[in-house]
Amino acid sequence: MPNHAVRLALLPSLLLAAAPVPAQTATVPDRVAAAVADGFVQFEQRTPVPGLVYAVVKDGRIVLSGTRGVQAIGGAAVTLDTRFRIASMSKAFTALAILTLRDAGKLSLDDLAEKHVPQMRGWTYPTSDSPRIRIRDLLAHVGGLVTDDPWGDRQQVLSEADFTRLIAQGVPFSRTPQSAHEYSNYGYALLGRIVTNVSGERYQAYIARTILRPLGMNDTGYDVLAVPQDRLAMGYRREDERWVAEPAMRDGAFGAMGGIVTTANDYAKWVVFLLSAWPARDGPETGPARRATVREMAQGLNFVRVAPRPDAAPDDKCVHAINYGMGMRVTPDCELGLTLAHGGGYPGYGSFVVLAPEAGAAAFAFTNRTYQTPSVPVWRALWTLARDDLIAPRQPVATLLLDRMQDAARAAYAAGSLKPLEGRLAMNFLLDRSAPNWAAEFARIKRQVGECATAEPLTPSGRLSTAFRWNCARGKLDGQILLAPTNPPAIQALRFVPRPD
């Protein structure tokens, strides 16, 4: 039988300088830990895997983790230090490498890819008006290349010389570049070649030097053949009701699309680093990339598709609008806020990660069965924490300026005129609506809800806009204040929605 262990706040710290340890980390209640663990039990019952490890990261550390099964059939149990191939979850490392080279002034995202990969210059495009592929097109999978998961995975072992010859042969395009999203491992292999050519060192060496070693990810790399056998999760597929070992493919030219080999403990350091980029703030930059650069990975080219949430109940009203950013799929979630997610499918392995950076949390899991990505229990892990109020998206904090503008708006309402707002109105305000008409509007609203003695805390949507609710004699008065992009800011719009008792 597979072993099962749940660990709460297991590690003393997985923190980086970029993410200081909070004074106190919330404990995950036993019922929440059990619910998360049950999600992975259900996954394994539906889709048996030889071994599995999962972890939930919050406040800069693993707060919840579990293991099931074995590293190899008949072998040792999976631990947090067992090394798994994480396949396409490697693409985020490639995307960040490209962005750091951009930050160093060595390339532009709008560069044609062929500027840095000369073998692409002879490619024949599908139409005479096709745009040539840019670096940003490869990052977002909009280069017109065909979806190639089964074929691409088997190119992992391709030598650099063979890859050069493959590029020079050109490609049959699936669609016109920049016209739609279509996932391409080939495209990310080309990004790896760009990293090599621009940096002057092999892609894998650049990732190790600039990302893995600075983060202390000493058990992470690309050479699976160098991993001690007693530390490696052997990859399997299920065939004819038995486990069949997949070949341990050596690392090669396609490593940029899916070559990372890592542990749960090491991968948590990567996740902590990514989460530490949110929220935007003052302070020193201490990670291997700027916080703004990490946040840029959430920007895509807006070929959005809409889908139900994974394993959604029939009455679930929340849908996911999914966009591919840079190495991550990006979607807003009703309970988690902004999320970045990616799966990894590979011969012998399946993995999945979800980051909820506005909530400061993430969950991920690795398995050693071909293409079995545990996406549903990973999503469920974060939803379980959210529904127990253990995590929630950070809300913007009202600025002193917005507080003062609300005070002035309340004074205007009480006076029945715009006089208290003199000097605070943008040039468009009285052009859009006259002062006498505003006086009539104030009187009309007062007939419905009366005077408004108190106000609820503001709920800003940014530094220059906020919703408000005032408590009135005969109901509530909801509204919005929107400031103009002038210095100093002034009110460009003031909106009211009376809600009588």
Percent of the chain with pLDDT over 70: 95
Is-contact 36 199, C-beta < 8 A?
A: no
What pTM was computed for the model? 0.90
Identity of residue 341: A
pLDDT exceeds cutoff 60 at 24: no
Closest CA to 262 of 83, 113, 441: 83
* Residue 23, pLDDT score: 27
Euclidean distance between CA atoms 34 and 25, whole angstroms: 19
pLDDT exceeds cutoff 70 at 3: no
pLDDT exceeds cutoff 60 at 25: no
Query: How many CA atoms within 13 Å lie on the side-chain side of 385?
Result: 27
Euclidean distance between CA atoms 450 and 277, whole angstroms: 46
Helical (H) or strand (E) element with 239: strand 236-239
Confidence of residue 160 (pLDDT cuts 50, 70, 90): very high
Is-contact 33 64, C-beta < 8 A?
A: yes
* Residue 302, pLDDT score: 86
Euclidean distance between CA atoms 219 and 226, whole angstroms: 11
What would the mean pLDDT of 31-55 be, rounded to a whole number?
96
Angle at 178 (CA atoms; ends 176, 181), nearest 5 degrees: 95
pLDDT in tens, 216-226: 999 999 999 99
Residue 89, phi then psi, degrees to nearest 5: -65, -10
Instruction: Compute CA distances 489 → 58, 398, 429, 432, 481, whole Å.
Output: 37, 15, 13, 18, 12
* Residue 27, pLDDT score: 78
- Tokens matching residue 452: 């408004």
Confidence of residue 337 (pLDDT cuts 50, 70, 90): very high
* Residue 12, pLDDT score: 28
Instruction: Compute CA distances 178 → 94, 136, 305, whole Å.
Output: 20, 10, 16
Choose which CATH entry (3.40.50, 1.10.940, 3.10.450, 3.30.420) describes domain 400-500.
3.10.450
pLDDT exceeds cutoff 90 at 2: no
pLDDT in tens, 88-119: 999 999 999 999 999 999 999 999 999 999 99
Does the fold of domain 400-500 match that of domain 4-96+201-387? Answer: no
Closest CA to 477 of 493, 494, 463: 494
Q: To the nearest whole number, what is the mean pLDDT of the chain?
A: 93
pLDDT in tens, 366-424: 999 999 999 999 999 999 999 999 999 998 889 999 999 999 999 999 999 999 999 99
Kindly report the three-state secondary structure assignment for every residue of 193-204: HHHHHHHCCCHH
Percent of the chain with pLDDT over 90: 92
Query: How many CA atoms within 13 Å lie on the side-chain side of 187?
Result: 29
pLDDT in tens, 242-297: 999 999 899 999 999 999 999 999 999 999 999 999 999 999 999 999 999 999 99
pLDDT in tens, 127-142: 999 999 999 999 999 9
* Residue 15, pLDDT score: 28
Give the DSSP letter of residue 327: S
Euclidean distance between CA atoms 324 and 347, whole angstroms: 24
Domain ranges of the chain: 4-96+201-387, 400-500
CA dihedral 104, 107, 110, 114 (to 10 degrees): -160
Fold entry, domain 4-96+201-387: Beta-lactamase (3.40.710)
* Residue 301, pLDDT score: 87
